[in-house]
Amino acid sequence: MQRRCSVIMRRGLIRGVICLLLVFMLSGAAATAYAAASDAPEWIKRVDGIADDPRAEEAAKAAEELEKWRAEKAQKRVPILLYHHITNEEFSREESISLITPEDFRLHMTAIRVHFNPISLRDYYNYVMCDDGSVNIPDNPIIVTFDDGYLSNYEIAYPILKELEIPATIFVVTDTVGEIGGAGKVNHSHFTWEQAREMEASGLIEIQSHTAGHVKMSEQSRGEQIRQLRKSKYDIEKNLGHACDMIAYPFGDYTPDIKQVARDSGYKMQLLVDDKTSEEDYMVNVPSEGVENITRMTIAGSMGNVNVIDIIRKTINKKNTMMAAAAK
């Protein structure tokens, strides 16, 4: 009896030793296999000591670069120009608020091509929304926009913009797309959806909303405000096949409530100024102010061509002075 017991004990001991040996051999084999894996970096494969994790250095470098990107972003000043109709017809000084000759328009575009780096409003949106340093815009950026959707944008501005490779966003009144000037609804003809598609196909032009009927939004009922925002968005998306997520308010007329309605209707970027034409009212944009208070400088025909660059620079300086004062 005693002998049988000791035989059983001895067998158990041998089994245990074999098990231990197997575990030891297998774990060694696994470690060797891991170290030899081709996708493991060199510093892991080293067996002569623990090397510093080189990723720590890379992470420090990335953090430094992100800091630099944020500092540069804080320094960016972004003027946005606003044009309307371009015509050779005689116009009064009052009318010149929204009119400019083809010659002056070409001179403005040539001047900003030389003195600034034109970017699209979409580029600016992506830049403002980015927080990880992955999106950039050049120094001295400038943005060109048009309101209403005049045929002259297609016939006169578009060829010039193409020639000079200047992107632009056109905010259209969707109920008057394709309307003929003087026939009732509008004074000057508006381009068609077909022409809008042709301009967008160039990759330089983007069409967004200036409401459905060019109404003063603050004077409308809540229901009508929603209809203006949603109908124009629907018509743009149906006819052009891309998201309509930017709104430029007619007459720069809006309230905080309207901005909320626009937000709820799917508008991500909101542009405010339409009818401010005096230099004192001009302002430029800074990324920290977001994408729902975008301001523009209405460029009037009466300004002529020589001082546009001066006016833009003065406005940038004014913003810098204001920001420096606010920071104190």
**Interface residue list for Zn ion (CB under 5 A):** 147-148, 250
In the complex, least distance from residue 156 CB atom to Zn ion, rounded to whole angstroms: 18
User: CA–CA separation, 83 vs 167, rounded Å?
Assistant: 13
- The nearer residue to Zn ion, 79 or 250, going by C-beta atoms, is 250
In the bound state, the residue with its beta carbon closest to Zn ion is 147
In the complex, least distance from residue 226 CB atom to Zn ion, rounded to whole angstroms: 20
Q: Extract the tokens encoding 78.
A: 């972004």
In the complex, least distance from residue 135 CB atom to Zn ion, rounded to whole angstroms: 30
Instruction: Output phi, psi for 293, to 5 deg.
Output: -135, 40
- The nearer residue to Zn ion, 250 or 287, going by C-beta atoms, is 250
Question: Do 236 and 174 contact (CB within 8 A), yes or no?
Answer: yes
- The nearer residue to Zn ion, 128 or 248, going by C-beta atoms, is 248
- The nearer residue to Zn ion, 85 or 108, going by C-beta atoms, is 85
- The nearer residue to Zn ion, 127 or 249, going by C-beta atoms, is 249
In the complex, least distance from residue 299 CB atom to Zn ion, rounded to whole angstroms: 14
- The nearer residue to Zn ion, 123 or 274, going by C-beta atoms, is 274
In the complex, least distance from residue 65 CB atom to Zn ion, rounded to whole angstroms: 42
In the complex, least distance from residue 211 CB atom to Zn ion, rounded to whole angstroms: 9
In the complex, least distance from residue 148 CB atom to Zn ion, rounded to whole angstroms: 5
Q: Quick one: which of 228, 209, 125 has its CA closest to 170?
A: 209
- The nearer residue to Zn ion, 67 or 94, going by C-beta atoms, is 94
User: CA–CA separation, 161 vs 86, rounded Å?
Assistant: 13
